[in-house]
Structure 1
């Protein structure tokens, strides 16, 4: 019974110490990242230029935890405009070296710079004259010295209490990869629509690649002389809470919403009910049929709208509602 009671108390007794340790991890890694960021130099710029000049692909390789980080770096590069993929160094040494050509650039990751499986790749890469970028925590290492460019991610210590498990070092490597990707995006002029092409299944990708005409709904249209009852009937039948008022040749003149109807109903009598042209909102916000859904969403949010009229050559094609975006 005493042991059970002690076990129940332990998490509460230890909570303050655990939170303190967790905060130390954040603080320690933040300091390390700040130091590495401040020490960036011409080598980083050289690495960026090498990648931009690469006519092949960026091949990323690393063992263990470095390999896991390498996979993420390769994925980030590939999704932001730099063709890239990961090759496991062990598999490369047993046949997959054929994936790497002389026009490719190889990004090698090893915190010690002495990882045997990675070092074994160097003779082949020299033979095919492939450019290499090394990310290590030791500028004097074999890997750093053999690479075309070395990116230094050296740290004072890991945040692991025993200074053994890769923690701060892997974070630093990951951020170095992100720094390369973001800089390359800027240099390439990589835009949201480019990102969408590589992420068509995501929410942002769908909105950037979907045009207004793809999601618009039919919208009723009336002439300016339409009576109050006609407006009510058309808005009810259209089920979109809006009707377009058009000229004799079909150009958009304005819109009447269900809100306009309510206000007109309150300020008029049965005998003085207004016509469409008397209550319509002029100069409604419109978008072209090829406008992407993401821009439509931003426009509606900024102007606090629930509807956007889609037009072509000045004539209404349909309406987008806020729930469509």
Structure 2
């Protein structure tokens, strides 16, 4: 006896007449896809226009912030304020100290976070946002310069600003031209451009970037190999004249790597004895092979890295050369650790 037929509930979007009765617009996936493409094109077009003719104020803003040296305080209301949070985060991550000031809280004491040598970056498409314009006079009294990212230099915000980054009057992507979409996209892109300009002028290095990003996969890639390599009892090091049989003996306890680093009398790395070397040895089925010096069967002159190389560079070597282990050596060629591919799962 078969199962009873499943009774499906009516889908209000599958029947145009039913949707009309409920006051709903019938759902058309093809039309919706086209509409989504229009939104994306509107935002892309705005960015292309800015790229074709970048606002002159953008370079002036970089000059001003660099000359002041007191960091950037980003402020804006609503969606512009949310964009401001992202801009402040990007500035900070690329070496320009930045924080966010809520304009509503600013007039209730938070203006105190603005240093006298700081620069305020104020975001408002209209340039008339009341919460933003109300902090202009207090800032002017303290002679704190303002960089305005706005549509028009003639707006209230634009007239009061030291530097205006004029985006032009942008039409939003929604049908009623109401929701900040194209304007916030342009603001964010201009903020990114400003952050990158400032970082390059300051000759911001990957090492400094890594210092600000110690967590996550990005942080791990930017870390140095001496921060992630195996050392001490987690690695095996033998003299290259030792017999293979001795090298194969592994102490119990802490998990070891699949490769043994081999050194000469001066302690310099001469080779690796890997799982592959062992497999080839066993395939020959020669018991006498186990009593030969390991130097006779090891992988000679293995690829190595210095201890200050980034994890990202080590990962590239492991991937590019199809390696499982990467010895880490000091300036004299002596092994100080080993990077094992199993420790970098997710980055390789």
TM-score (norm 1): 0.89
Quote the offset at 1:216 in angstroms: 1.0
User: Which of the residues 268, 274, 279 maps onto 1:257?
Assistant: 274
Quote the offset at 1:137 in angstroms: 1.1
Segments of 5+ residues of structure 2 without an aligned counterpart are 1-6, 17-24
Whether contact under 8 Å (2:75, 2:102) holds in the other structure is yes
Aligned length: 325
The residue aligned with 2:131 is: 117
Q: Give secondary structure in 2 for the equivalent of 1:263.
A: helix
The residue aligned with 1:242 is: 259
Whether contact under 8 Å (1:109, 1:135) holds in the other structure is yes
Query: For residues 47-85 of structure 1, what are the alpha-carbon distances to aligned partners after superposition, in whole Å with 9 as ceiling and x for unaligned?
Result: 111111122121111122111111221122122211111
Q: Using a 3 Å threshold, how does the CA distance of structure 1 residues 287 and 99 change in structure 2: closer, same or farther?
A: same
Q: Using a 3 Å threshold, how does the CA distance of structure 1 residues 5 and 109 change in structure 2: closer, same or farther?
A: closer
CA–CA separation in structure 1 for the residues paired with 2:242 and 2:130? 82
Query: For residues 87-120 of structure 1, what are the alpha-carbon distances to aligned partners after superposition, in whole Å with 9 as ceiling and x for unaligned?
Result: 1112212322222233111111111111222222
Q: Please list, as runs of the form range in 1=range in 2, the aligned pairs for 1:151-170 lying within 5 A after superposition.
A: 151-170=165-184
Q: Give secondary structure in 1 for the equivalent of 2:152.
A: coil
User: Which of the residues 44, 69, 87 maps onto 2:58?
Assistant: 44
The residue aligned with 2:320 is: 302
Report which stretch shifted further, 117-126 or 6-15: 6-15
Whether contact under 8 Å (2:55, 2:165) holds in the other structure is no
The residue aligned with 2:203 is: 189
Q: Give secondary structure in 1 for the equivalent of 2:28.
A: helix
Q: Using a 3 Å threshold, how does the CA distance of structure 1 residues 206 and 224 change in structure 2: closer, same or farther?
A: closer
Bigger fraction of residues in helix: 1
Whether contact under 8 Å (2:235, 2:338) holds in the other structure is yes
Q: Give secondary structure in 2 for the equivalent of 1:94.
A: coil
Report which stretch shifted further, 86-95 or 228-237: 228-237
Q: Using a 3 Å threshold, how does the CA distance of structure 1 residues 296 and 187 change in structure 2: closer, same or farther?
A: same
Whether contact under 8 Å (1:243, 1:256) holds in the other structure is yes
User: Which of the residues 175, 187, 191 maps onto 1:173?
Assistant: 187
The residue aligned with 2:303 is: 285
CA–CA separation in structure 2 for the residues paired with 1:240 and 1:59? 49
What RMSD over aligned residues (CA atoms) do the two structures have, in Å? 2.7
The residue aligned with 1:21 is: 35
Report which stretch shifted further, 48-57 or 169-178: 48-57
Q: Using a 3 Å threshold, how does the CA distance of structure 1 residues 27 and 178 change in structure 2: closer, same or farther?
A: same
CA–CA separation in structure 1 for the residues paired with 2:27 and 2:246? 73
Q: Using a 3 Å threshold, how does the CA distance of structure 1 residues 151 and 19 change in structure 2: closer, same or farther?
A: same
Query: For residues 160-200 of structure 1, what are the alpha-carbon distances to aligned partners after superposition, in whole Å with 9 as ceiling and x for unaligned?
Result: 11111111111111111111111112211222221222222
The residue aligned with 1:4 is: 10
- 1:77 aligned onto 2:91: yes
- 1:220 aligned onto 2:226: no
The residue aligned with 2:334 is: 315
Q: Using a 3 Å threshold, how does the CA distance of structure 1 residues 6 and 144 change in structure 2: closer, same or farther?
A: closer
Q: Using a 3 Å threshold, how does the CA distance of structure 1 residues 52 and 243 change in structure 2: closer, same or farther?
A: same
TM-score (norm 2): 0.84
